Structure formats: C-alpha cells, structure tokens
Structure 1
Amino acid sequence: MSRVSVIALALGLAVSSLALTASAATAPSPAITAAVADSNRPQADKDRDTDRKPAEMLAFAGVKAGDKVVDFMPGAGYFTRLFAKAVGPKGRVYSLLPNEIATRSQKAVDGQKALAGDKAYGNIVPLVEPVNALTFPEKVDVVWTSQNYHDVHAFMGAEAAAAVNKAIFNALKPGGVYIVLDHVAEAGSGVRDTNTLHRIDPETVKKEVEAAGFVLEGQDDALHNTSDNHTLKVFDPALRGHTDQFIFKFRKPK
C-alpha cells in the first residue's frame, strides 16, 4: 500500500470515529428543555437529574415532537414522563414491561400503574408483553432502554435478548433509533455479571444488537465515570447513582 493510500485510510478511520460521537454534542431542543422543566414531574425524578443528565440523553436519542417512542422496561417512569412531554400531544409513548419482569418485581408493576394513572401524561400507553413475543401497536421512531438491558440476560437469557433485539428492529420505522444505556462491566466479561453486579460488557451489547440488523451510529460518554472499577454491585452505597455507564445509539437502516 502506498503512503498516500495509508494516509487516506487513516483519515477515513478518523472521520468514521468522529461520526460515531458527533451526535453526542447535539443541543437539547426547546421541547426537551421544557420536558425536563415540567412541574408535573415527581420531585424524586428531579432530584436525580444531575446524575442522569436527561436533557443530553433525549437530545442524543433525537426525540422530537410527534414521535412514537417505546420505553422498554421503564421502571418508575423517569424517562417515560420526559418522553411524553418532549413528543407532545401528537406523539405517543409506550411504556413496555415484559411479563417476566412483572412477575418478579412488584416495584415494576407499581411503576406501570403509576404511569397509567398519571393524568398529567395522557399520551403514555402502558403495555405488558411476553419477552419472547413482544408486539407493538404501531411502527415507532425510537426505542429506549435504560439500565435494564442486562436484566434481559439475568432473568431470561441470551435467546430472550436476541428475540428482544429482533422484535425492536421490526417495530422501528426504517431509519428509527434504538438507544441502549446500561452499567459497564469489566472488559471481556460478556454477560457474567448481569445477575450478580447488574452490569454488562458494552462490547457484548454491540455484538448482540448489531446481529439483529442494527448499525451502531454513535455513543455518548456523558455518564462515564473513571472512578468506577466495575467490580462493585451497582446498588453498593459507595457507587449507587454514579456508576460508569455506556450509551449507544443504533439505527435501523432505511
């Protein structure tokens, strides 16, 4: 290979690397800023904003007015309520809880009930579906899952994870986005720590999601924490709320 070819290859790789992180710098839209400032949000959610950086997360996901968004395994609805205000009255947010989690976690069930009964967010539609046969009422623009991808492995296994990723791929519109945010496990650990430390190796997530047909478009390092050595359980008081987390944006090809 000639010197010119080597330089051209290096420049191409550099451009590709920049492309993967470029979307992380997107400024929050007025709709996203208003969603974070929404006075109807529970105080417990607002208290977590400094650590969870919601405006940056929604901007990275590209959530906009009129979008149809799925919050997969929504917990108590921290992001679900934000999505609801960001997409506005012409949009819709599906809070999708797998049956397998509902039967294990009363907290998850209570979270769904709270979302269904919150009149301040009339465009949220709670759903409970079997993880190996997820169905969606319509094609959607964004599927989001936060701090829960590892739970699919921990409670349901690799086959379930593959089924989930494929169902999400099929549910998205062409060009739609799948965001995965989770706690970082030690490099090379695969799914070893999903049930014990509640972490997962980011490289494992990349491989699994790309196997469903997605293309990795970018990542955001806003929740990266170098003081987390990836050996503690995420609920450890010394670390809870401040774990090292990865955020990947995958896109369904058009």
Structure 2
Amino acid sequence: MGKFNIDRFKIGRFRLIALMSLTSLYTSVNYASSRHELYSQVIEHPQRSVQDKIKDKTRKPELILPFTQITQNNKVLELGAGGGHTTELLARLVGNKGKVYAQGVSATRVKNGRLPNVIALRKHLLYELEEVLAENAVKKGSLDAAVIFFALHDFYLNSRIDQQAVLNTIYQFLKPDGSLIILDNAADADAGLSVNRSLHRIGENFVISELKKAGFTVDSTSQALQNLKDDHTQRWQVFNGEHDRFAIRFVKK
C-alpha cells in the first residue's frame, strides 16, 4: 500500500472514530435530556396536590428522583410509604407499565384507583414481607429497585423486627444490579443507634455496615438533603423538614 493510500486510510479511520464519538455524545445528551424531561413531568404533574408540591421544597424530588435512577416501566418496592408523597412520585415516574408495591401507604393516597399502578400491600409485620410479596405475584429477582425513605431508623426502634432478615428479603427480590435507595435523618456518621430513640436519627456508617452484611454495595451517595447547620443534637422536627439527611444508593451485586 502506497504512502498516499495509507494516509487516506488514517484520515478515513480518524473521521470514523470522530463520527462515532459525536454520535455517542449526542445519544448521551439526548438520553440525559429525555430523563430530565421525564422527572420534570412527574414533579409538575397537574394531579399532584398543592400540599405535595409544598413538601417538595424540603424533599427536593428534582434532585432525589434522578439520584434513584428509577425510570419508566420499573417495578419498585417502597417500605414505610406513610402519607404517600414518594409513592405518588414513583407511580408517575414508572408509568402505566411499571408497578409500585407500597407498604404502609395511606389509604387516602390510593383511594378510588387514582394511582392504578400502585399495589397497596396489605397491613403486615415486616417479617411477613416475603409472604406478602408472593401474594402479589412478585417473584424473587424481579424488582428493579426498592426505597426506604425516612423509615429505616424506625425499623431499629422495634425489637420485634429482625432488621437483617428484612434487608435480606429485599436483596432476594431485587434483580442483579437492582438498587436500594435509603434516605434518613442524619446523626453523627459514627453515632450508630445511640440517639435513635431520643432524636429519631441514625448514623450513616451504621446503615452502610448493615446493608453490606445483607450483600449490598454502596453505589453512590448524595448531599442533596444535607444541612451543615444541623449539629445533630436536636430532634429533626425542629428544622421543619430541612434537617440534615443522608442519601445512599446501594446495589445488589
């Protein structure tokens, strides 16, 4: 092959690599843009209540939803759903082909079938979680994600709960690379459970240790709900929803 042909081959190869790189970049940008639009549509959905949108100011779903990496068509388990602020966001996020299996969700939130893709799990004790999921035809290894928002610390206040057994059950029902997202009220990182009963706060490092025992790996953390002015010496309610909170995304490996 002559020098001219070699140079032309190198130029052609360079152009091909450049074109592939630009195509990949465009695809990534387009994907990120579509994800951003999806989250915006969920948060601004016209059927969300005024009260929920007020709560958004402290819960910051515009930051937390992208952090979860939950998306359309996902099947998600929510433990400690409570009033259902997160339940509704997740329901609108996963869409008609997705499912949210919500434990402890308010009946008002799902009355009259207003969130048809939410399966309100029957009232049960957490040690019955495996049985209840099976009742709803949820198979082990089938869930894309699970979330526990501001409820894990409560698990450790109940001496009747085998917390490791609950975490093991969640692990078993997640797909490989499925995620478990924890948000909770921050104590000092190494405080463990020392102020849990008095302040309803839990140490971040203790949570990481417990989840690792169940087989999870830390995938990412977020400071979206951090408040450096909170010194962890008062009950979280004092801060009107703006207390220091940690966010950790674990994955099943």
Instruction: Report the TM-score when normalising by structure 2.
Output: 0.79
User: Structure 1: which 5+ runs fail to align?
Assistant: 1-25, 98-110
CA offset at residue 132 of structure 1? 1.8
Cα contact 2:190–2:204 (8 A) shared by 1: no
Instruction: Report the TM-score when normalising by structure 1.
Output: 0.79
Q: Which residue number in structure 2 is paired with residue 62 of structure 1?
A: 69
Q: Which residue number in structure 1 is paired with residue 169 of structure 2?
A: 167
Asked whether 1:79 is paired with 2:86, we answer yes
Q: Which residue number in structure 1 is paired with residue 240 of structure 2?
A: 240
CA offset at residue 112 of structure 1? 2.4
Q: Which residue number in structure 2 is paired with residue 51 of structure 1?
A: 58
Q: Which residue number in structure 1 is paired with residue 233 of structure 2?
A: 231
Of residues 221, 224, 235, the one that matches 1:222 is 224
Partner letter of residue 45 of structure 2?
D
Cα contact 1:142–1:177 (8 A) shared by 2: yes
Cα contact 1:186–1:231 (8 A) shared by 2: no
Aligned residue for 1:235, secondary structure, equals: helix
Give CA deviations for 1:150-208 in whole Å, capped at 9, x if unaligned.
00001246x62211111110111111000000011123221122221010000000000
Partner letter of residue 129 of structure 1?
H
User: Structure 2: which 5+ runs fail to align?
Assistant: 1-31
Asked whether 1:30 is paired with 2:37, we answer yes
Q: Which has the higher helix share?
A: 2
Give CA deviations for 1:57-80 in whole Å, capped at 9, x if unaligned.
111111111000111101100010
Asked whether 1:178 is paired with 2:180, we answer yes
Q: Which has the higher contact order (CA 8 A, sep 6+)?
A: 1
Q: Distance in 2 between matches of 1:118 and 1:241?
A: 30
Aligned residue for 1:93, secondary structure, equals: strand
After superposition, residues 142-157 of structure 1 pair within 5 angstroms as: 142-156=145-159
What CA RMSD, in Å, does the superposition of the two structures yield over aligned residues? 1.6
Q: Distance in 1 between matches of 2:129 and 2:252?
A: 18
Cα contact 2:98–2:117 (8 A) shared by 1: yes
Q: Which residue number in structure 2 is paired with residue 123 of structure 1?
A: 117
CA offset at residue 118 of structure 1? 4.8
Q: Distance in 2 between matches of 1:140 and 1:29?
A: 23
Q: Distance in 2 between matches of 1:155 and 1:39?
A: 38
Larger radius of gyration: 2
